[in-house]
Amino acid sequence: MNVRIPLDHDTAGLPLKLEGDLELPPTARGIIVFAHGSGSSRHSPRNRQVALGLREEGWGMLLFDLLTTREDVSPEARFDIPLLGRRLVVATTWLTRRPEAEHLPLGYFGASTGAAAALIAAASLGARIGAVVSRGGRPDLASSALPQVTAPTLLIVGGDDKDVLDLNRRAASHLRCTYRVTVVPGATHLFEEPGALEEVVRLSVDWFDCHLASRGEGAMTQRKTQNPRGR
């Protein structure tokens, strides 16, 4: 369903709402919130493909635009990583206040600069975020937030995306959480090679299954204990 996430104002001081798409099946195991890279949007075909793969495994999705149309024409806004991180926190807080989502575990999937925003938001929200996956991300842009991230973090990088791979390895050394840097051989930055994005989907499913699914099962058990008749 199409949703609008309210903010107090945009960078020009105007009231705004961010456009998003929320998919939440009745038996969702949790929700993955997507953060796209600069110059992209919630319509990113690569993120949509990953979202579809996760959806098929029972995960709910929130894909939304981190910037308004007015803001997105500004290179300064596109690369304002602290701003993008704050937007992600606002969207996550809005999501957790929805009755159908408030008890579900949350994870982040970030691409390119969106990965830095996801890590900043994960550091800010602490235990509320259960896992993070980065695809071709720039975790180095999260800088001082990296040691504050507690969510298990998977950094997926193309083997032929050598500069970004080096940046990911350097950034990973500052993480204090459970993490892994996984290289997809022969893939470049956009994972356009045959089978590359499918491998991203597989790796992401495995990571969320391992680190996020158990949080959802615990929450479900708690709800049943608190409300055994399902009222």
Helix axes 196-211, 45-55, angle to 10 degrees: 50
What integer is the mean pLDDT of 183-205? 97
> pTM here?
0.89
CA 182 to CA 179: how far, in whole Å? 10
Domain count across the chain: 1
% of the chain with per-residue pLDDT over 90: 68
Residue 75: per-residue pLDDT: 77
Q: Could you tell me if residue 69 is inside a domain?
A: no
Residue at 231 is within a domain: no
Q: What is the pLDDT of residues 75-104, one digit of tens each?
A: 777 889 999 999 999 999 999 999 989 899
- Residue found by looking up tokens 């900043």 in the block: 120
- Cα–Cα dist 227/231, whole Å: 6
pLDDT band at residue 229 under the 50/70/90 scheme: very low
Query: Does residue 88 lie within any of the structural domains?
Result: yes
- Whichever domain contains 91, its CATH number is 3.40.50.1820
Cα gap 20→63, rounded to integer Å: 6
- Pairing between strand 153-158 and 129-135? parallel
Has residue 11 got a pLDDT over 90?
A: no
**How far is CA 182 from its chain centroid?**
17
Asked if the structure places residue 87 within a domain, the reply is yes
Cβ neighbours for 97, distance < 8 A, ≥ 6 positions apart: none
Task: Say which residues have a Cβ less than 8 Å from residue 231's Cβ, sequence separation at least 6.
Answer: none
13 part of a folded domain: yes
Residue 228 pLDDT greater than 50, yes or no: no
Residue 30 has pLDDT above 80, yes or no: yes
- Residue 39 pLDDT > 80: no
Supply the pLDDT for residue 216.
Answer: 56
The average pLDDT across 105-116 equals 96
For residue 153, the enclosing domain spans 2-22+30-36+43-64+74-226
